[in-house]
Amino acid sequence: MRALVVYESVYGNTHAVADAIAEGLGDAEVLSVHEAAGRSGEAELLVVGGPTHMHGLATSRSREMAAAGAEEDGGMAIDPAATKEPGLRGYPHDLPDRQGARAAAFDTRLDRSRWLSGVASRGIAKRLSRRGYDVLASESFLVDASEGPLAEGELDRAREWGAELAGTVTSGGASAQGAVS
């Protein structure tokens, strides 16, 4: 199975989750949203994820604010492409319509109630659905603070989720856990 994992990351947490999902999928290709333009049409499964900012998908302004905050906090390392456009909000607009193609969405968010933290994967899934993708599942991976680190066990959980997605695609069924309604 050919799978592509596309991510947007500011502090590196979402990138780490994307890499773990790719391992679970069987070493899928992993690209930042900036590298992924025009590359999704080749994949049997497109997995897209990003951080949750201000209750949803990151915006150019929220990415700039996060990068500035990291700089003020003593130069915390950020992804060099974190403030570049297009961001994850715009990425699905450039995808070709893929009626029936399979996709999944994920996010990283604070380890709080969804009502308090928001969930970026919901917005990602909606955007993919509008392009004709059959969104098999969505999942949130938790961070202990806005900048991270990831909560204990989340990378293992991401690998397991990737393996579950691979099994779903190869069996031709829909995922029960994390399914998008």
Residue with tokens 């031709």: 172
Residue-level pLDDT at 72: 62
DSSP state string for 6-49? EE--SSSHHHHHHHHHHHHHTS-EEEETTT-TT-GGG-SEEEEE
The topology under which CATH files domain 3-171 is Rossmann fold (3.40.50)
Q: What is the spatial distance between Cα 158 and Cα 25, in angstroms, rounded to a whole number?
A: 10
| Beta pairing, strands 102-110 & 56-57 | unpaired
Residue-level pLDDT at 180: 39
Domain boundaries, the chain: 3-171
Q: What is the spatial distance between Cα 23 and Cα 28, in angstroms, rounded to a whole number?
A: 7
Task: Give the chain's residues under pLDDT 50.
Answer: 175-181
Residue-level pLDDT at 115: 66
Of 7, 5, 9, 51, which is closest to residue 24 (Cα–Cα)? 5
Residue-level pLDDT at 141: 97
Residue-level pLDDT at 54: 60
